[in-house]
Structure 1
Amino acid sequence: MAEDNNDITRLIIKVTRDTLPQIKDKYPFIYLERGRLEIDDSSVKWLDCDGNVVRLPIATLNCLLLGPGTTVTHEAIKVTAAANCSVCWVGEDSLLFYAAGVTPTSNTRNLKKQMLIACDDKKSVDVARRMFAKRFPKAELTGKTLKEMMGMEGYRVRELYEQKAQQYKVGWKGRSYLPGKFEMGDITNQILTSTNAALYGILTSAVHALGYSPHIGFIHSGSPLPFIYDLADLYKEQLCIDLAFALTLEMGGRYNKHKVANAFRKRVIDMDLLTIVAKDIEDSLGVKQHANRNSE
């Protein structure tokens, strides 16, 4: 389990169903592997492979990332869903994102807005333009088509990789990942792969919790989670790319999953990702955010 007992203990607070925290107030995620998630006296507990038992403050968590070797009871999922905590199934150390359990929301107001914007070609391109502008504020995007903006993005991202390689004095031969062959990549690429997948899990849970769909994107297409990939690009430079190059030399040629997990988690918390993602979605779509607490 990525978290130690001290991390878990400090998160425990008394929360009732009527006073569940907003997504921005929640702790981002906990990664679990090789154990069992079940219920004991109406609380969710984790039993790891070494026989340790840890009670999870599920109402203060935004997302559970379940890795290999995990089992979960029906009752645990029911309680987790009632606490508005999403569950995602991922590969070891979040190397691959497999699926997400959708936590029901009270209305579809935000989803309807997202769909209407996506179906309007002009509005859809405007969303893409606002997303690109967040990442490249000095770029001239007025009148640019989506294809033109994506071409500009490709060049700027390659340039960013080169800048980080020079900044941290790391050899760089380009982004590379072979599905199922994680260990074949160099250390920098391994860190990029693992942190990217973890970021997708966090954002998927946040998007579901806010009442949007991860499947309706504005830049990416032809993939399972286009809106997640759209959003992830807003945060990858700080959370994934800079971190990957910064940690490469520290690794000394050997990937250290604990160091990567701790460093990534710290950056997510320091950035206050769960606070800014809701506002970034609102700004990008050009809509006013509505809470999902009352039925339409």
Structure 2
Amino acid sequence: MLGGFMARKIFLKLTRDLYPQVKDRYPYVYLEHGRLEVDDSSVKWIDSECHVVRIPIGLVAAILLGPGTTITHEAVKILSSAGCTVCWIGAEGLAFYASGVSPTSDSRNLLRQITMSCDPDSRLLVARRMFSQRFPGLDLGDKSIPEMMGMEGIRVRKMYSEMAQRYGVDWSGRAYIPGRPKDSDLVNSILTFSNGLLYGVATTVIVAMGYSPRVGFVHSGSPMPFVYDMADLYKKFLTIDLSFSMASRMDKSGFDRKSVIDEFCSRALEMNLLEVMANDIVEILREPKC
């Protein structure tokens, strides 16, 4: 990402000298603790230490506004005229709140996503690409989406049992009561919370790249099926292994939210989650060759 080194940061803050050299737009710039305003028709960022950076919005597809940020009406107007999306997100991008999309923004990615989702053959192709990452080397050419979902269910249940044995954690199955996290055991509490963190990051990346969280390929009947489609590709390391590992060494008196966030961010950085996810989306939604 853009910016200098910041420990445990998934999104790195903007600095004056670190714009990427790109032929097309850079996917996103993350800002926190400062003000975005307009000066002489150019958008400038003033951080909490009064450092000023002018942002070449023609090179940026989306501005991600984190905690402690404000944006002027004129800045929104200029960003909109440049087709730059604005997203309001939580610290580290671990929560997604809202976005503002320009009426003139590029809709090519969204249109391709909708077209492929609505066409049965293309939808099946995309689903097979997703599942092939979880079943490398296995020919899925004759498998339907329900069949692959069944295979995935067996794989995940086996993974839970193997992780429980590896880390010496009691496990009686996935259990989550909406709105009552304290009624779950420690592993399930960590799983639910870390999955939520992953969904926040996935939503931010998807929206920033001009796709819709609401147009899925494997999941359906939920508010954000494409978020769940993409998040499932990274859960083994980012949430499942994390949850059993942390449960094995966490104080049994309760679950430590801050420790889970720190571990999640550390793992996301280790695997370069933002870049990996962006590249995976492009590959998964690649149009089939005629």
TM-score, length basis structure 1: 0.73
Larger helix fraction of residues: 1
Alignment-derived partner of residue 272 in structure 1: 272
- Residue type of the alignment partner of 2:259: K
8 Å CA contact 1:203–1:232 kept in 2: the answer is yes
8 Å CA contact 1:214–1:225 kept in 2: the answer is yes
Alignment-derived partner of residue 191 in structure 2: 192
Structure number with greater Rg is: 2
Give distance in 2, aligned partners of 1:106 and 1:64. 18
- Residue type of the alignment partner of 1:23: P
Spell out the pairing of 1:58-137 with structure 2 (5 A cutoff): 63=64, 75=72, 82=79, 86-88=87-89, 99-104=97-102, 106-137=105-136
Give distance in 2, aligned partners of 1:191 and 1:164. 14
- Residue type of the alignment partner of 2:27: I
Task: Tell whether 2:41 aligns with 1:39.
Answer: no
* Alpha-carbon distance change, 159 to 40 in structure 1, aligned in 2, over 3 angstroms: closer
Give distance in 2, aligned partners of 1:258 and 1:55. 30
Give distance in 2, aligned partners of 1:264 and 1:58. 32
* Structure 1 range deviating more: 12-21 or 208-217: 12-21
TM-score, length basis structure 2: 0.74
Give distance in 2, aligned partners of 1:198 and 1:54. 31
Alignment-derived partner of residue 3 in structure 2: none
Alignment-derived partner of residue 41 in structure 2: none
* Alpha-carbon distance change, 133 to 54 in structure 1, aligned in 2, over 3 angstroms: farther
* Alpha-carbon distance change, 44 to 239 in structure 1, aligned in 2, over 3 angstroms: farther
> Which residue among 14, 21, 24 is the counterpart of 2:16?
14
Partner SS state of residue 23, structure 1: coil
Alignment-derived partner of residue 164 in structure 2: 165
Partner SS state of residue 87, structure 1: strand
**What are structure 2's unaligned runs of at least 5 residues?**
1-5, 38-43
* Alpha-carbon distance change, 15 to 108 in structure 1, aligned in 2, over 3 angstroms: farther
8 Å CA contact 1:103–1:209 kept in 2: the answer is no
Let me know the Cα RMSD of the aligned residues.
3.8
8 Å CA contact 1:134–1:234 kept in 2: the answer is yes
8 Å CA contact 1:102–1:208 kept in 2: the answer is no
Task: Tell whether 2:145 aligns with 1:146.
Answer: yes
- Residue type of the alignment partner of 1:216: V
Larger RCO, structures 1/2 (Cα 8 Å, 6+ apart): 1
How far off is 1:88 after superposition?
3.4
- Residue type of the alignment partner of 1:270: E
Spell out the pairing of 1:218-233 with structure 2 (5 A cutoff): 218-233=217-232
1:176-197 superposed Cα distances (whole Å, 9 cap, x missing partner): 2212111221111111111111
* Alpha-carbon distance change, 63 to 39 in structure 1, aligned in 2, over 3 angstroms: closer
How far off is 1:267 after superposition?
0.8
* Alpha-carbon distance change, 157 to 102 in structure 1, aligned in 2, over 3 angstroms: farther
* Alpha-carbon distance change, 134 to 246 in structure 1, aligned in 2, over 3 angstroms: same
Give distance in 2, aligned partners of 1:138 and 1:208. 31
* Alpha-carbon distance change, 58 to 124 in structure 1, aligned in 2, over 3 angstroms: farther
How far off is 1:172 after superposition?
0.8
Give distance in 1, aligned partners of 2:257 and 2:52. 22
How far off is 1:139 after superposition?
3.6
Give distance in 2, aligned partners of 1:184 and 1:56. 48
Alignment-derived partner of residue 40 in structure 2: none
Alignment-derived partner of residue 212 in structure 1: 211
- State how many pairs are aligned: 260
Give distance in 1, aligned partners of 2:259 and 2:228. 25
* Alpha-carbon distance change, 58 to 249 in structure 1, aligned in 2, over 3 angstroms: farther
